[in-house]
A and B are shown apart, each in its own frame.
Chain A
Amino acid sequence: MKKLINAPENIVREALAGMAAAHPDLLRVHVDPDYIARADAPVRGKVALVSGGGSGHEPLHGGFVGDGMLDAACPGAIFTSPVPDQMLAAARAVHGDAGILFIVKNYTGDVMNFELAAELAAAEGIPVASVVTNDDVAVRDSLYTAGRRGVGVTVLVEKIAGAAARAGADLATCQRIAEKVNAQGRSMGMALTSCTVPHVGRPTFDLPDDQMEIGIGIHGEPGRTRQQLASAAAIAELLARPILEDLPFQRGDQVLAFVNGMGGTPLIELYVMYHELSKILAGEGITISRSLVGNYITSLEMAGCSFTLLKLDEELTRLWDAPVLTPALRWGI
């Protein structure tokens, strides 16, 4: 393992200290329990958005704390959901008397810990609504499973619901919009290499040089299939087709196309993938009206990418375009 760390057990706290030092104008870091809150929290009368999850997916979620997006983020240990103490402390710190929206990725641990936190917050008289993202089409959805994973769409939910909250929407409206984004978004990812979890010290899975994992998760959990490495064009087909079929996306749709890097893939390759995706969508008569390309929901240094498509309407487009000022996403301010 070659990493820029002092000791695996200190990596999250030291990264938090670094974030606090790098962005004093945007956010404040609280340690024990750990959470990141926007510098001017609580914003009176505004619904506060709180998200969180295991660390190792940076910039998710701490990088999206700021004006127009999240009010607080709770970083767990690497790839481990945060604990209810963190969410409760964050909720107290950012509650502006308009309620809290929890944005939760659909992983059993995240769901259970946020559920516990919501119960504790409600007991303190803080109204909490939750949205659970589950956009990963690589996972079969059924009544008998934990359901699909929440991945790339989480970033879009945080931005769009964050804009709604900033514009003064109430808790129920923010929740409705967050759920709409989740319902209209689909994702799928792949990996060229494994990541290495610092406290484990070696790659989570072995992937021969000529192989790739399709349908990968963001925690180094193996994908659903392993196959021969293919060209960017062929990989784009493997990712885009299941997404297009699932909603389904149709001719005439306007979409936000999001090509996300897993942390270890250079931007030049992500743009190659974006090019391939845009050709596929053009062939289907689907218009890309908004785009996002870069490393936004990562898996440590895993090489690979994911595609997320979000069907846009006037409401979602307007909220996407609204100003945002966070460490990792900023425009219009």
Chain B
Amino acid sequence: MQIESDCVLKFLEVVAARIKEQRDYLTELDAAIGDADHGVNLDRGFSAVMSKLPTLTGRDIGSILRTVGTTLVSTVGGASGPLYGTAFIRAGAAAADRFQLDPYEFVVVLEAALRGIETRGKATRGEKTMLDAIAPFVETLKAGVEANEDPLIALRKAVAACEEGMRATIPMLATKGRASYLGERSIGHQDPGATSAYLMARAMLDVVEERNAE
């Protein structure tokens, strides 16, 4: 499994399309514990990313991811703008000048994104945030790759862990972001950030599987 520049571009296209599809669902999740704008904001950001995509064809993975990050920071707003923005910018720095990533390098890039979100959000796992989906995703993939598992199988397991992490936010008490203002009333709702993170992980798997089938 090699991740190439055009695979990253395809991933972005799929993410943008899925976010658009799931816009109202994400917003609905956010209305329960936040301020009803998560889907709308991400859709605005990824629509802006889509408009920049033609200028990114043929560029290295680092440049592509950095552009995505700065575009998200500049257009999304809220907490998800700086969080996803920082993730893509850090991932871009880790993939600087690379046109292709092997599974080990892919893990390094994802870890950089994860650290970026942790640092920007001053959050850790268990606080009912996107980290609860992203951290198990990255950690499971890393464990699989380090154990020399077939990379595609490792990615499938990672996405399953991501989905499980997303569902695990339902019973959690929020202590970060606007949901924290609800205290106990945040319990029982799936976190919208964890949900959008899962959408992205799932898109990654679908794109890689499709490439593999070709």
Contact = CB atoms under 8 A, between A and B. Distances in A.
B36 A116 contact: no
A140 interface: yes
Interface string B61-95: 00000000000011111111111000000000000
Contacts of B76: 83
Interface of B: 27, 31, 33-37, 40-41, 44, 73-83, 120-121, 175-178, 180-183, 185
Contacts of B180: 139, 145-146
Interface in A69-104: 76-85
Interface string A207-247: 00000000001011110100000000000000000000000
Interface in A121-174: 138-140, 144-146, 149
A83 B77 contact: yes
Given A116-B82, A204-B36, A107 B77 contact: no
Identify the interface centre among B35, B121, B177: most chain A CB within 10 Å of its CB: B35
Given A140-B183, A220-B35, A116 B178 contact: no
13 contacts: A77-B40, A81-B79, A84-B73, A84-B82, A109-B81, A109-B178, A115-B82, A116-B82, A197-B35, A199-B27, A219-B178, A221-B182, A222-B182
A333 B207 CA distance: 63
Nearest to A116: B82
B182 A81 contact: no
B126 to A, nearest CB: 11
A200 B41 contact: no
Contacts of A85: 73-74
Contacts of B182: 221-222, 224
A108 B181 CA distance: 11
A78 B73 CA distance: 17
Given A81-B77, A81-B78, A146 B177 contact: yes
A108 B36 contact: no
Nearest to B85: A116
A44 to B, nearest CB: 30
B143 to A, nearest CB: 29
Identify the interface centre among B27, B178, B181: most chain A CB within 10 Å of its CB: B181
B78 A221 contact: no
Identify the interface centre among B36, B121, B176: most chain A CB within 10 Å of its CB: B36
Contact of A139 (B27, B44, B181): B181
Contact of A116 (B27, B73, B80, B121): B73
Interface band, chain A = 35 or more
Contacts of B177: 108-109, 146
Contacts of B34: 219, 221
A233 B26 CA distance: 39
A112 interface: yes
Given A108-B176, A145-B175, A200-B31, A82 B77 contact: yes
A113 interface: yes
Contacts of B81: 81, 83, 109, 112-113
B181 A109 contact: no
Given A81-B81, A146-B181, A217-B181, 6 more contacts: A83-B81, A109-B80, A146-B177, A197-B35, A199-B37, A204-B35
A74 to B, nearest CB: 10
A221 B181 CA distance: 8
Contacts of A83: 73-77, 81
Nearest to A114: B82
Nearest to B127: A144
Contact of B36 (A82, A139, A200, A224): A200
A205 interface: yes
Contacts of A82: 77
